[in-house]
Structure 1
Amino acid sequence: MSTFLPTSTRVHDAENQNASQQHRRDAGTLFVLKSKGSWIHCGYHLTTSIVSPSLLSLPYALTFLGWKAGIFCLVIGAFVSFYSFNLISLVLEHHAYLGNRHLLYRDMARDILGPRWGRYFVGPIQFAVCYNNEVLCALLGGQCMKAIYLLSNPNGTMKLYEFVVIFGCFMLILAQMPSFHSLRHINLVSSVMCLSYSACATAASIYIGKSSNAPEKDYSLKGDTTNRLFGIFNAIPIIATTYGSGIIPEIQATLAPPVKGKMLRSLCACYVVVLFSFFCVAISGYWAFGNQAEGLIFSSFVDSNKPLAPKWLIYMPNICTIAQLIANGAEYLQPTNVILEQIFGDPESPEFSPRNVIPRLISRSLAVITATTIAAMLPFFGDMNSLIGAFGYMPLDFILPMIFFNMTFKPSKRSPILWLNVVIVIAFSALAAMATISTVRQIVLDAKTYRLFANV
Structure 2
Amino acid sequence: MANRVDDDGRPMRTGTWVTASAHIITAVIGSGVLSLAWAIAQLGWVAGPATLIIFSLITLFTSTLLADAYRHPDPVTGQRNYTYMDAVRAHLGGLKVRFCGVAQYSNLVGVTVGYTITASISMEMVRGSKCFHGKDKCHASTTLDMVVFGCIQLILCQVPNFHNLSRLSILAAVMSLTYSLIGLGLSIVKVASGTKLNEGGETRTTSATVSEAQRLWRIFQAIGDIAFAYAYSTVLIEIQDTLKSSPAENKTMKRASLVGISTTTIFYLLCGCVGYAAFGEDAPGDLLSGTGFNHPVWLLNVANVCVAIHLIGAYQVFAQPIFSFVETSCRQRWPEVKFVSTDHQITIPFLGGMSFHVNWFRVVWRSAYVAVTTVLAMVLPFFNVFLGLIGAVSFWPLTVYFPIEMYIARAKIPKFSVSWMCLQALSFVCLLISLIAAAGSVEGLVQSLKTYHPFKNEA
What TM-score, normalized to structure 1?
0.84
Matches of 2:200 and 2:159, distance apart in 1: 45
Aligned residues of 1:391 and 1:432 also touching (Cα < 8 A): yes
Matches of 2:100 and 2:185, distance apart in 1: 40
Q: Indicate yes or no: 2:27 matched with 1:49.
A: yes
The superposition leaves residues 382-436 of structure 1 with CA deviations (integer Å, 9 ceiling, x where unpaired) of 4233222222133201222112211211236797654442221010011122222
Letter of the 2:227 counterpart: A
- For 2:299, the equivalent position in structure 1 comes to 313
Shift of 1:312: 2.6
Aligned residues of 2:71 and 2:79 also touching (Cα < 8 A): no
- For 2:57, the equivalent position in structure 1 comes to 79
Letter of the 1:319 counterpart: V
Aligned residues of 1:63 and 1:219 also touching (Cα < 8 A): no
- For 2:391, the equivalent position in structure 1 comes to 389
- For 2:451, the equivalent position in structure 1 comes to 449
More helix by share: 1
Shift of 1:218: 5.3
- For 1:148, the equivalent position in structure 2 comes to 126
Matches of 2:109 and 2:277, distance apart in 1: 33
Aligned residues of 1:380 and 1:450 also touching (Cα < 8 A): no
Matches of 1:58 and 1:157, distance apart in 2: 25
Q: How many corresponding residue pairs?
A: 421
- For 1:247, the equivalent position in structure 2 comes to 235
- For 1:138, the equivalent position in structure 2 comes to 116
- For 1:292, the equivalent position in structure 2 comes to 282
Which consecutive unaligned segments of at least 5 residues does structure 2 have?
A: 1-7, 347-356
Matches of 2:177 and 2:76, distance apart in 1: 35
Letter of the 1:44 counterpart: A
| Partner residue of 2:318 out of 332, 346, 355 | 332
Aligned residues of 2:176 and 2:310 also touching (Cα < 8 A): yes
Matches of 1:91 and 1:325, distance apart in 2: 28
Which consecutive unaligned segments of at least 5 residues does structure 1 have?
A: 1-25
Matches of 2:278 and 2:170, distance apart in 1: 31
| Partner residue of 2:90 out of 111, 120, 129 | 111
| Partner residue of 2:219 out of 232, 237, 257 | 232
SS of the residue corresponding to residue 454 of structure 1 reads: coil
Matches of 2:121 and 2:184, distance apart in 1: 19
| Cα distance change, pair 215–374 in 1 and its aligned pair in 2 (3 A) | farther
Matches of 1:78 and 1:368, distance apart in 2: 31
Shift of 1:238: 0.9
Listed as ranges, the matches of 1:31-50 within 5 Å are 35-50=13-28
The superposition leaves residues 113-134 of structure 1 with CA deviations (integer Å, 9 ceiling, x where unpaired) of 2232212x11111111111111
Shift of 1:341: 1.3
Matches of 1:331 and 1:132, distance apart in 2: 13
What TM-score, normalized to structure 2?
0.84
Aligned residues of 1:406 and 1:418 also touching (Cα < 8 A): yes
SS of the residue corresponding to residue 298 of structure 1 reads: coil
Aligned residues of 2:285 and 2:383 also touching (Cα < 8 A): no
Letter of the 1:241 counterpart: F
- For 1:262, the equivalent position in structure 2 comes to 252
| Cα distance change, pair 351–179 in 1 and its aligned pair in 2 (3 A) | farther
Identity of counterpart residues, as a percentage?
28
Matches of 2:238 and 2:345, distance apart in 1: 25
| Cα distance change, pair 205–219 in 1 and its aligned pair in 2 (3 A) | farther
Aligned residues of 2:140 and 2:457 also touching (Cα < 8 A): no
Matches of 1:35 and 1:417, distance apart in 2: 36
The superposition leaves residues 267-293 of structure 1 with CA deviations (integer Å, 9 ceiling, x where unpaired) of 122134212321111111111011111
Matches of 2:20 and 2:314, distance apart in 1: 14
| Partner residue of 1:281 out of 271, 280, 303 | 271
Matches of 2:216 and 2:139, distance apart in 1: 40
Aligned residues of 2:107 and 2:394 also touching (Cα < 8 A): yes
Matches of 2:418 and 2:173, distance apart in 1: 35
- For 1:12, the equivalent position in structure 2 comes to none
Shift of 1:367: 0.7
- For 2:5, the equivalent position in structure 1 comes to none
SS of the residue corresponding to residue 261 of structure 1 reads: helix
Listed as ranges, the matches of 1:64-213 within 5 Å are 64-95=42-73, 96-97=75-76, 99-119=78-98, 121-152=99-130, 159-211=141-193
Matches of 2:41 and 2:59, distance apart in 1: 22
SS of the residue corresponding to residue 160 of structure 2 reads: coil
- For 2:370, the equivalent position in structure 1 comes to 368
SS of the residue corresponding to residue 389 of structure 1 reads: helix
Matches of 2:47 and 2:225, distance apart in 1: 14
SS of the residue corresponding to residue 244 of structure 2 reads: coil
Of residues 347-356 and 166-175 in structure 1, the stretch that sits farther from structure 2 once superposed is 347-356
Matches of 2:95 and 2:189, distance apart in 1: 53
| Cα distance change, pair 83–343 in 1 and its aligned pair in 2 (3 A) | closer
Matches of 2:183 and 2:253, distance apart in 1: 30
| Cα distance change, pair 439–158 in 1 and its aligned pair in 2 (3 A) | closer
Matches of 1:117 and 1:266, distance apart in 2: 28
Aligned residues of 1:110 and 1:116 also touching (Cα < 8 A): no
Aligned residues of 1:204 and 1:314 also touching (Cα < 8 A): no
